[in-house]
Structure 1
């Protein structure tokens, strides 16, 4: 993203099944929207650049 206009950071609380909190960073600009998801340790678990579709496994 070359010219970001907005940034958003969302924190999801831990779930009852032992999964810790998660972090999603979303950046939007004229090119579109991109996001990055990380776990509580900071490990990136998913990232989607502008124009990329979600990975479905």
Structure 2
């Protein structure tokens, strides 16, 4: 829901990525971390997550 309400918030996608990873949905987590990084290239949390998954 938050991604619909706040589509330009990198934090929303970052947080959603964290939850998806916790739930074991790695593919969706990666997509959301990429979107977060696209919206905010300085997001070190998303960058570190994606770096570890390559």
TM-score by length of 1: 0.23
Q: Which has more radius of gyration?
A: 1
Greater helix content: 2
Greater strand content: 1
